[in-house]
Amino acid sequence: MTSIVQTHEQDISEITAETLETILVQGDLSKLSATDRLAYYMKTCESLGLNYLTKPFDYITLSGKLTLYAKKECTDQLSEKRGISRTITDVQLIDDVYVVRAVASKGGRTEESTGAVPLAGLKGEAKANATMKAETKAKRRATLSFCGLGWIDESETDSIPNVQTGGVDILTGELIEAPVEAVTTLPRPAGPPPAPPAPKDDEPREIPDQGELGGCPLHDEVEWTLNMSKYGVVQAWHPIEEGGGCYFAPAHKDLFATTYQQVIGSEGANEWLKGNFEGRTWSKLTPKDIVAAMELLTT
């Protein structure tokens, strides 16, 4: 840790005018280099008398802009170093919302702030934690207000929609890229199904009438080609522009079952069907159900 601190202190000089202009005009710390971002963080801590190694601030992205928010370490150090007294002065329950009023004071000067959390539906420990959070929020907001700081406190971050915290290594200023979720793509059929082997008695295998198949649930109106697999399953398929073919098994649904199980998993396929199609399993699916299920799985 000592070597890291020494390296930072050697590399970081005063914040340049260009960096300061970027911060003041754009208000987006992501536009800074890692060195400038670290310099700004350390100079901010230094100006307030805070120990930056305790990480009193963290980063938050609001409206697409990276900025700082105050953590517990920040408000606690400010209160101690500046001799600020923080007192809960009022507590109210207004329409299932627990509202706490706190006052930060020193030498006859006071600043008042509130903290509020909803209690509807909470019981036991969850309710107790919520009331303590409201008290903490009120005290910290009063402290920041007393010091003339407009930062968001960490107790407020979970109530802001679509917010992202972190994303920066505090000790280096480097941006941390968010992990990218892997996307699973189902394999596309390579081509039409293989021709069925000739029956042992060398008699042609007659394909039963399949009625009106309608359009493909994925590719609208197409002309189907029918054949029968070696297992006696009637299959319909049509070529697609990307190459290969799209398959349909109106008689026994085997190919559709394979698709469902690839998406949902073989263990949960029937449960998924029961939940979406009035308790029906594979054996009870109608052609109409099949088309509806394919739409659910592919949109």
Are 161 and 209 in a shared domain? no
Arithmetic mean of pLDDT, 213-222 = 64
* 176 and 190 inside one domain: no
Q: 116 lies in a domain? A: yes
User: Is residue 101 situated within a structural domain?
Assistant: yes
Total Cβ atoms within 10 A of residue 10: 8
Q: Residue 218 — very low, low, confident or very high, per pLDDT cuts 50/70/90?
A: low
Note the pLDDT tens digit of each residue in 268-297: 667 777 777 777 776 676 666 776 776 676
Sign of CA dihedral 281, 283, 289, 290: positive
* DSSP character at residue 49: T
pLDDT in tens, 238-268: 777 666 666 664 443 554 555 565 566 656 6
Residue 15 lies in a domain: yes
C-alpha span between 152 and 38 (Å, rounded): 20
What pLDDT shows up at residue 11?
Answer: 47
Strand partners, 87: 103
pLDDT band at 100 (very low <50, low <70, confident <90, very high): very high
60 shares a domain with 199: no
- Pick the closest to residue 156 from 60, 237, 86 (CA basis): 60
Owning domain of residue 42? 1-80+147-183
Q: Measured between alpha carbons, how far apart are the two ends of the chain, in Å?
A: 51
Residue 219 shares a structural domain with residue 159: no
Tell me the pLDDT of the chain averaged across its residues.
Answer: 75
Confidence of residue 57 (pLDDT cuts 50, 70, 90): very high
Is the Cβ–Cβ distance between 196 and 232 less than 8 Å? no
Rounded Cα distance between 155 and 74, Å, is 12
Residues 57 and 192 placed together within one structural domain of the fold: no
Q: Which domain-ending residue is among 183, 210, 244?
A: 183
Mean pLDDT within 40-50:
90
